[in-house]
Structure 1
């Protein structure tokens, strides 16, 4: 599956898009753990100290935010496109 990284995550991932090969039945949680395993600096931004997904991280599977789906249990089918946005601030 294709994972697109945005803003400050992009240099940590070494580019905009990275391919991940997860087994059928993988979830958003599985993918985010794989992202963290491959990119430890990103792991620190994804997860809180208690192991929860950070409030300000935005993860979309095929254009739909996982917080409005099944959160970490959201299925990520083969060929899905996933977008991960870091926390952002501004006004």
Structure 2
């Protein structure tokens, strides 16, 4: 469900039945996104200590900084920049 649709589409629907259907769909999608995000976040509790155990602390911190910088760049590219594909 999360990866099936690339972006939220703004559909102009009228009437209480269409609004109820849209609300039910958004609740289902929100639950799926929350569950997926939580599962990915749980891996952090495993990988962060493993990185500190496997490499030097300085190297692990630079890897984390690089990862977070990449995440920030991806979020900016798709959501925050002017002319983004799915602005928020």
Q: TM-score, normalised by structure 2?
A: 0.25
The structure whose residues are more often helix, as a share, is 2
Q: Which has the higher contact order (CA 8 A, sep 6+)?
A: 1
Larger Rg: 2
Q: TM-score, normalised by structure 1?
A: 0.25
